[in-house]
Amino acid sequence: MFPLTEENKHVAQLLLSTGTCPRCIFRFCGVDFHAPYKLPYKELLNELRKFLETEKDELILEVMNPPPKKIRLQELADSIDNLSQNGEGRISVTQDGSIASKNSNLNVCNVCLGILQEFCEKDFVKKVCQKVEASGFEFTSLVFSVSFPPQLSVREHAAWLLVKQEMGKQSLSLGRDDIVQLKEAYKWITHPLFSEELGVPIDGKSLFEVSVVFAHPETVEDCHFLAAICPDCFKPAKNKQSVFTRMAVMKALNKIKEEDFLKQFPCPPNSPKAVCTVLEIECAHGAVFVAGRYNKYSRNLPQTPWIIDGERKLESSVEELISDHLLAVFKAESFNFSSSGREDVDVRTLGNGRPFAIELVNPHRVHFTSQEIKELQQKINNSSNKIQVRDLQLVTREAIGHMKEGEEEKTKTYSALIWTDKVIQKKDTEFLNDIKDLKIDQKTPLRVLHRRPLAVRARVIHSMETQYVDEHHFRLRLKTQAGTYIKEFVHGDFGRTKPNIGSLMNVTADILELDVESVDVDWPPALDD
């Protein structure tokens, strides 16, 4: 059933005669169900022609600008005949990859600039889908987004004022919220077509996004008069090529008085010569996250690349030994590495290892079986004797919060080999075993002051256990609050950590070796080998 009623006929005739396409006419008549918009364009125009047939010889329509004029029914019929050619328009991909129209006789809608004409037909959808399939992404659903030129909002505003005045003559009203949004109508038409062509559902929560950006160079100056009337709405912003963003234009349109708008912009809007162009079609996949625990067995391996003043100090890092494999397998553009704390370059991480997570940005492959992840873990472990990875698994972004909580809230266990300047006996170290929950104050260590703010941090040494080695050496096993600087607790850092092993034993102490024995964070979940 045709969606317009007799009540809509006058507005429909007005809009069509001034250059508006049938689908935009539906929008301004408040048609909010999908089916009519999905009709093929030629069929839609034929139905509209039948609806607008009248027994009267002529119809007088008044518009704000230009002055009132007579529009004969024959002229109206001719315009419909011309518009019906729009359904024959064909889309092609040019040599540079952009998408263009082959229909030079198109009567372009003065409101949507062709968006609801050529760009929601099956030919265009097929061309977009070809680019999606050629992109190499793995996906089982998608979210489809579009970006329209900001001047469409100006043209829609002008058409709204035109229709509002015409309806006012019939004692009817039309609020801006009564108009179906262009983006909504576009998605009603195209979503089923994309879903059918690609064989996957459209899902607003999908991590895979296909975005199409439209432009219309011919009418780009439509917005410029707003900047003179509402200058405070158009302020330069970082990462924005133009101040005339959709949000800024809408803000100005909400602010401008109707009479000021009508003085500056034609109502109805002028008909353009060409349809919109497609600036870009982009495919992107939201990040996926891989977590696990790593052991570090080398005392000459930093956690992250060690680069000072642009010069690399060591050839590799824990981050790279793990992430390089993940980047290749997931076909990701880049990655971000994070972990529950970090160890120094000369510190080993033993026991169950340190929890880590890697964000893989824009991955092209995202579906893996548990067996494939196990094989990836084995590949990492076979590639180097400096590290080993366990419990490798896919996780959610939210789950990473459990790891970050452990950085400050959990405990960590260390083993240190300590040297003293004075000769010591076993009894000189035994008193440390009896100290529980020792509170210390640590001023930011000198060695990290270049990358950490100066502050005094209160930390707790929960327990200590000593093992005598010889007159100048003993081993110290400590359980501490996460975030404790162990080396500084041993040697004192020139008095910046108080108390410290040196002050407690009344000796000069230094640390020769340090191992992380456990990071007490119950994440990620342990997996069976």
Just list the catalytic residues: 344
Q: Which residue has the tokens 């996250």?
A: 289
**Cβ-contact 415, 465 below 8 angstroms:** no
* Interatomic CA distance for residues 445 and 485, integer angstroms: 8
Q: Which residue has the tokens 């508006």?
A: 20
* Interatomic CA distance for residues 365 and 362, integer angstroms: 9
* Interatomic CA distance for residues 478 and 330, integer angstroms: 40
**Cβ-based neighbour number of residue 485 at 10 Å:** 21
The closest of 261, 277, 280 to 269, measured between CA atoms, is 261
**What value does the CA radius of gyration of the chain take, rounded to a whole number of Å?**
35
Phi, psi for 356 (deg, rounded to 5): -140, 160
* Interatomic CA distance for residues 307 and 525, integer angstroms: 33
Does the N-terminal peptide bond of residue 266 adopt cis geometry, omega within 30 degrees of 0? no
* Interatomic CA distance for residues 149 and 220, integer angstroms: 8
- Could you tell me which residues are beta bridge partners of residue 142? 202
Vertex 271, ends 270 and 274: CA angle to 5°?
A: 135
What DSSP line would sit under 179-217, residue for residue?
A: SPPHHHHHHHHHHHHHHHHHTS-B-TT-SEEEEEEEE-G
Pairing of strands 311-312, 307-308: antiparallel
Of the CA atoms within 13 Å of residue 440, those in its CB half-sphere come to: 32
6-17 and 151-168 helices, crossing angle to 10°: 130
